Amino acid sequence: MSKVKVIGYVRVSQVGAREGDSFISPLLQREQIASVAAREGLTVVRVIEELDASGGDSKRPGWNEAIEAVERGEVKGIAVWNLSRFSRSLPDALRALARIEDAGGRVYSATEDTGNKMVRNILLTIAEAERDRAAEGFRAAQLSAVQRGIHVAGRVPVGYRRRTGKELPAEERRLQIDPDTAPIVQGAFERKAKGMSHEALARWVQEQGVEGFSSTGVRWMLSNRAYLGEARAAGAVTVGAHPAIVSKSLFAKCQERGVQSARTGVLAGRFLLQGVARCAGCGRGLYLSTSGKGRAFYRCRTTVCEARGYAGAEALDAHVLNVLDERLNPADPAGWVAAPGGDDAEVAEAELALAEARADLDGFLEDTTVRRTLGADRYNAAVADYVAVADKAEADLERARAASSGSFDLVGRLWNTEWGHAERAEWLARTVAQVAVSKGREPLSRRVEVELR
């Protein structure tokens, strides 16, 4: 008489560095499956092994493969060490058992009676409760670690390094500055604040020697509050858990997103006059669009307008900036008069102080010998001091700019050194009331009117 064919199923929720008697290893599970096969007269045609697989996950590919093999009639059952290996979710387990039994199959356990449905359901309920307790214990362990300032994510953010080992005190398991990669992180944030795209940043980071960085990885890095010195998990946050690499204001600036038109988002991210340029004929806003050759244009799309204004996007942006340069330049007697208020000299001093603070921070992070000289604790404390100085310099600069006259010289410096596309477009929208564009082949100087606010 031929033996009943079954599939052996082995599952381990988390392997890591576990070993010893408390760890039910895959080899031990295989031995137990062989024992139930011998006891029940089964033939194990193959064993499916899933490591680092949660028993509460109903989408486990190996688990579903075993169930589907029973439904196809290839085998008559699934053999496991115990039901907790099969599933730790009572609803998932009952649905899977119904599918197996409807196909004429059965689940065999090396240590339990699976023929008695009441006993089997009780065992599955216990398995689910054990999973819930383990999850609650894990959350409690995460909360405790975060409260002690430990970064609990499995992945160490670029720019940091950490020592591992439960025997180490908490302060020695906190993130520490990596002098090789921290300057790269600082540089990436500064470039993003000036408007560099995620794709270009990913290329730049890789050029600095950090391999495998994609635009998605850059987005993750720029939004990771660990760079502010925060440890987070289980809904808890510890500020000052480890040295910050970037200042609060620089981090906040990298979270800002320019407002783009839903219909012309890509082009609005390249050109400056969306919402400002208008048709001289009907007064409605011009839309950005491309021609068949890929050139970008501002166009009037109003069907009833008989004089639809249009202009090349690049040419119109350049023309308006030239007009502003002529009208707002203080050297021009008829030019723009700066608003009364603060002194731009204070802004220049604050800008210099910030540049010096950032240069000091960069220089300290780039010095590979100072860490060995100071030791980890003093080095991390020094980094925190440098970041605090940069934070204060940025706050002082913001106050000086808010009180300044906002001269064209100041705007020019910001435009060329700090502002990205979003800041430039925002300044134009505040400065220019409208740009009226007429239809025709004449030069833009004859068919474009720029009205300042």
Kindly tell me the sign of the dihedral angle through the C-alpha atoms of 314, 316, 322, 327: negative
Which pLDDT value is given to residue 69?
92
- Locus of tokens 């908490």: 170
Can you give the pLDDT at residue 414? 65
**Are 211 and 198 in contact, with CB atoms under 8 Å apart?**
no
Domain residues of the chain, as ranges? 4-135, 160-255, 265-336+429-452
Type of residue numbered 90 = L
Q: What are phi and psi of 239, to 5 degrees?
A: -85, 140
Question: pTM for this structure?
Answer: 0.39
98, 27 contact by CB (below 8 A) = no
Do residues 88 and 132 touch, judged by C-beta distance below 8 A? Answer: no
Query: How many Å apart are CA 7 and CA 70, to the nearest integer?
Result: 9
pLDDT profile of the chain (453 residues), mean per 10: 83 62 69 89 91 82 91 92 84 88 90 78 76 60 57 74 64 76 86 80 85 79 83 68 81 63 52 83 82 76 80 86 72 42 61 73 71 71 77 77 61 66 75 84 85 78
Residue 405: how many CB atoms within 10 A of its CB?
A: 16
User: DSSP per residue over 28-58, as a string?
Assistant: HHHHHHHHHHHHHTEEEEEEEEEES--TT-T
* Token output for 279: 């048709």
**Assigned fold of 4-135:** Rossmann fold (3.40.50)
Residue 128: which H helix or E strand, with range? helix 117-147
CATH of domain 160-255: 3.90.1750.20
Q: Does residue 57 sit in helix, strand or coil?
A: coil
